Amino acid sequence: MKIVVLAGGTSSERDVSLSSGSRIYDALKSRGHQAILLDVYLGLKTDEPVTEQIFEAPIDWTKDIQAISESHPDLSRLKEQRKDGGRSMFGPNVLTLCEMADIVFLGLHGANGEDGRIQAAFDLMGIRYTGTGYLSSALAMDKGLSKQLFLEAGIPTPKGFTLKNGQTADPSSIPYPCMVKTICGGSSVGTYRVNNPEDLPGVLADAYAFGEDVIVEQFIDGREFSVGIIEGKALPIIEIAPLEGFYDYKNKYQPGSTIETCPADLSEALTLKLQGYAEQVFEALKLTSYARIDFMMDRLDESFYCLEANTLPGMTPTSLLPQEAAAVGISFEDLCEKLIEVSLARYREP
């Protein structure tokens, strides 16, 4: 198949996306697909007409991809690389090449990639892509909206409330420690643990730098888990135990920073309960194809709390979904093929 692997973009998870995209690209090439890797924002700069022959060209599409750094990328100079100033999310020739492809494998993460806007544009243009649709992407990306849907579906989630940019909260009204998160962020960028009331105003100011809305949420002291879902069915559970702090950007992507155990050391009853919650989340958010759902388990009473759903899970060397798939004998290459297969099923005639 002719496949465009779409990565990069302008979110705070840009570097993570490029890492995911390069691994996906390599896996698809190894299986004989005519794959190319594109940065959705920078596109392909060329003075020559773009034709389908480019899918066969001997181009190393991953040569400029760097390892993920310990901090999220500085995006301030990215627009300088676009002659048009970056008015459109789509860089030169991106849409043309995506229209030529049999499917676009979305290796995008975070805002401007995982929030449904690119999916909506592709739907209007008749471009097929991996993952869920635009509406479920948008619902899952907004932690405030998804929390409301969890509650309506009877899925336990930490107590919390949202604030608009500029709003403040009475520090004495909140139990500590608490978590402050930008409402549409990912990879724990814009996520903070607040231990003392006097720290809250400064943390809120920092969080507003990542978006107009933030969520202040109950801190759950316990164990952290993630559950991959493919076609509505849960994969083995993975437990995440950072060596220091919580599962932040550094601990997610720097090898050796976190101990990951899959299958997680849980009783059969707790395993089935957590997998059941993950499948409920998949249904409540109207997700299709695949996703990954994150949870905390209270250390004292073993109660589970859903944190969020990820509609385009990471595919980096340290990412969780590939580890869960490997636990049931699915190689990374087979996983990429499987995600294409279940995504194409959305386009088949009923």
- Contact status, residue 41 vs residue 89, Cβ threshold 8 Å: yes
**For residues 315 and 76, what is the distance between their CA atoms, to the nearest angstrom?**
25
pLDDT tier, 157 (very low <50, low <70, confident <90, very high otherwise):
very high
Our answer to whether residue 70 is catalytic in this structure is no
Report whether pLDDT(199) > 80.
yes
Report whether pLDDT(248) > 70.
no
- For the stretch 99-131, what's the b/e string if a residue is b when 16 or more beta carbons lie within 10 angstroms of its beta carbon? ebbebbbbbbbbbbbbbbbbbebbeeeebbbbb
Window from 4-13, 96-105, 266-275 with minimum mean pLDDT? 4-13
Our answer to whether residue 292 is catalytic in this structure is yes
Catalytic residue among 310, 319, 324, 343: 310
Our answer to whether residue 244 is catalytic in this structure is no
Dihedrals phi, psi of 66, to nearest 5 degrees? -100, 160
* Average pLDDT over all residues of the chain: 89
pLDDT tier, 71 (very low <50, low <70, confident <90, very high otherwise):
low
The number of residues making up the chain comes to: 350
pLDDT tier, 208 (very low <50, low <70, confident <90, very high otherwise):
confident
Strand order in the sheet with 191-194: 160-164, 213-218, 178-182, 191-194
At residue 72, the pLDDT reads 60
Report whether pLDDT(243) > 80.
no
Share of the chain above pLDDT 70, in %: 91
pLDDT tier, 125 (very low <50, low <70, confident <90, very high otherwise):
very high
Catalytic residue among 213, 239, 294, 324: 294
Report whether pLDDT(89) > 80.
yes
pLDDT tier, 55 (very low <50, low <70, confident <90, very high otherwise):
very high
At residue 70, the pLDDT reads 53
At residue 207, the pLDDT reads 84
Per-residue tokens: 263 = 């299958």
**For residues 298 and 218, what is the distance between their CA atoms, to the nearest angstrom?**
12
**What is the average per-residue pLDDT within 116-127?**
97
Give CA separation, 57 vs 6, 51, 61, 200, in Å. 18, 11, 10, 54
**What is the average per-residue pLDDT within 94-119?**
94
Tell me if the bond preceding 263 is cis, omega within 30° of 0.
Answer: yes
Regarding predicted confidence, which is higher, 331 or 243? 331
Pairing of strands 34-39, 2-7: parallel
At residue 102, the pLDDT reads 98
At residue 62, the pLDDT reads 87
Report whether pLDDT(250) > 50.
no
Our answer to whether residue 114 is catalytic in this structure is no
**For residues 13 and 25, what is the distance between their CA atoms, to the nearest angstrom?**
18
Catalytic residue among 253, 277, 290, 305: 253
Report whether pLDDT(302) > 80.
yes
Regarding predicted confidence, which is higher, 58 or 273? 273
Catalytic residue among 91, 314, 324, 343: 314
Alpha helix (H) ranges present in the chain?
Answer: 14-30, 94-100, 117-125, 134-141, 143-152, 200-208, 249-253, 268-284, 320-326, 332-344
Catalytic residue among 187, 226, 289, 319: 187
Report whether pLDDT(28) > 60.
yes
At residue 74, the pLDDT reads 64
Our answer to whether residue 221 is catalytic in this structure is no
pLDDT tier, 67 (very low <50, low <70, confident <90, very high otherwise):
low
| CA trace torsion 170, 173, 178, 179 (10° rounding) | -40
At residue 80, the pLDDT reads 77
Window from 187-191, 195-199, 246-250, 282-286 with minimum mean pLDDT? 246-250
| Residues with Cβ within 8 Å of residue 13, at least 6 apart in sequence | 72, 109, 110, 113, 186, 187, 189
Our answer to whether residue 310 is catalytic in this structure is yes
At residue 169, the pLDDT reads 78
Catalytic residue among 308, 319, 324, 343: 308
- Contact status, residue 139 vs residue 148, Cβ threshold 8 Å: no
Look up residue 224 and give its amino acid: E
Catalytic residue among 292, 305, 319, 324: 292
- Contact status, residue 213 vs residue 162, Cβ threshold 8 Å: yes
Catalytic residue among 11, 12, 13, 110: 13
Per-residue tokens: 37 = 């890797």
Report whether pLDDT(320) > 60.
yes
At residue 54, the pLDDT reads 94
